[in-house]
Each structure stands twice: as structure tokens, then as C-alpha cells.
């Protein structure tokens, strides 16, 4: 009987492992969506500092019985500029949006808001990125739908486009509202 050499078995095993990983990755509902371990769990603590003369928000603001969005953004973030008109439209429709300015210079953040408008009901700065770590933020922009009890319903990494509003945010908001 011929002896099996490890080098003869390794390539087929590596191929099988890669094929399995590819299959699992392709079978995800939305392959562009970054998963969050926090969906269905209480939002982590809100620990922000004041940004200029803007009103800040706290944990209790995420537990008022109303669905809210928490949006991480920065003035240096090009996709944040792209999503900004969509956030303003959502705010104009009555949706409460809390902003977290991420690792930014306060003067740049305030200039950004003065130039493009301020869709945020309240806003705070996370200059060191510590709160973002607790929330699992990969980068900006990122937006979280929070139900009225302070539970994360969904997280969207990337700019809020009309497609994201229609296909991700609004279904999550309706779910959070119990509709």
C-alpha cells in the first residue's frame, strides 16, 4: 500500500477550506454589509464631549420611546459630505438623529455643519474614538437605528444614500416602531 504524503493531501484540503469560506461569504444576504455583534442589544454608553455651543445627548436620549438614529461622522470624511443631504431630509421628515463627531478638530466640525447644515437634534464629539470602539465603529460614516428602548436594530457602515434609506434604514425603523 502506498504511503500518503502530506504534500499530496494539503492542496485539496486548502482548496476545500477556501471553497467553503467563499460559499459562506457569498451566501450572506448582503455581502457589502458589515455585521454588528450589537444588533438586538442595548446601545453602549454615550460618552461625548461638547462640540462648540451644540447641545449634547446622553444615554437617556436613546430611551425615550422614539426611534432614533446615531450617526458617526467627521469633517475630513468625503462620504460624510455625500450622505449629509440625506440626513437633512430624514431630519426634516421628523426623524431624530444624534451626531457623533469622530476624531475631528472642533473648528473643522463646526465649519462643516455651518457650511452644509445641521441635521442633528443633538451632537457630541468623540475626539479620541473611545465611544466608537465600544459601538464597534469601523470608520465613518456609520449609522445606527436605535429603537425606543435604546436597543440597536441595525447598523449601516458607509454613506446613507437613498438606496440605503429605502432598503435598510426605513425597514429597520418600521420594525423598531412595531409596524
CATH architecture entry for 41-178:
3-Layer(aba) Sandwich (3.40)
What confidence score (pLDDT) does residue 37 get?
72
The CA distances from residue 108 to 34, 119, 125, 173, in Å, are: 28, 17, 12, 31
CA distance 135 to 120: 19
Give just the sign of the alpha carbon dihedral 48, 49, 53, 58.
positive
Does residue 48 carry a pLDDT above 50? Answer: yes
User: Would you say 100 and 149 are in contact if contact means Cβ atoms under 8 Å apart?
Assistant: no
CA distance 40 to 110: 33
Does residue 29 carry a pLDDT above 50? Answer: no
DSSP 8-state symbol, 42: B
Per-domain residue ranges of the chain: 41-178
Q: 24-36 in b/e burial notation, b at 16+ Cβ within 10 A?
A: eeeeeeeeeeeeb
The pLDDT mean for the chain works out to 88
The residues, ordered by sequence, that sit 6+ positions from 77 with a Cβ below 8 Å of its Cβ are 140, 141
What confidence score (pLDDT) does residue 26 get?
45
- pLDDT tens figures, 92-129: 999 999 999 999 999 999 999 999 999 999 999 999 99
What confidence score (pLDDT) does residue 16 get?
61
Amino acid at each position: 500500500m502506498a504511503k500518503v504524503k502530506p504534500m499530496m493531501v494539503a492542496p485539496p484540503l486548502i482548496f476545500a477550506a477556501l471553497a467553503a469560506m467563499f460559499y459562506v461569504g457569498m451566501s450572506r444576504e448582503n455581502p457589502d454589509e458589515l455585521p454588528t455583534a450589537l444588533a438586538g442589544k442595548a446601545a453602549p454608553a454615550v460618552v461625548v464631549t461638547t462640540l462648540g455651543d451644540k447641545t449634547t445627548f446622553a444615554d437617556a436620549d436613546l430611551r425615550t420611546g422614539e426611534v432614533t438614529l446615531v450617526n458617526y461622522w467627521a469633517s475630513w470624511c468625503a462620504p460624510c459630505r455625500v450622505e449629509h443631504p440625506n440626513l437633512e431630509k430624514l431630519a426634516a421628515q421628523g426623524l431624530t438623529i444624534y451626531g457623533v463627531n469622530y476624531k475631528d478638530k472642533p473648528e473643522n466640525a463646526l465649519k462643516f455643519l455651518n457650511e452644509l447644515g445641521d441635521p442633528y437634534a443633538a451632537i457630541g464629539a468623540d475626539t479620541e474614538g473611545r465611544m466608537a470602539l465600544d459601538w464597534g465603529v469601523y470608520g465613518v460614516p456609520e449609522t445606527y437605528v436605535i429603537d425606543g428602548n435604546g436597543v440597536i436594530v441595525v447598523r449601516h457602515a458607509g454613506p446613507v444614500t437613498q438606496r440605503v434609506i429605502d432598503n435598510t434604514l426605513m425597514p429597520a425603523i418600521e420594525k423598531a416602531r412595531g409596524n
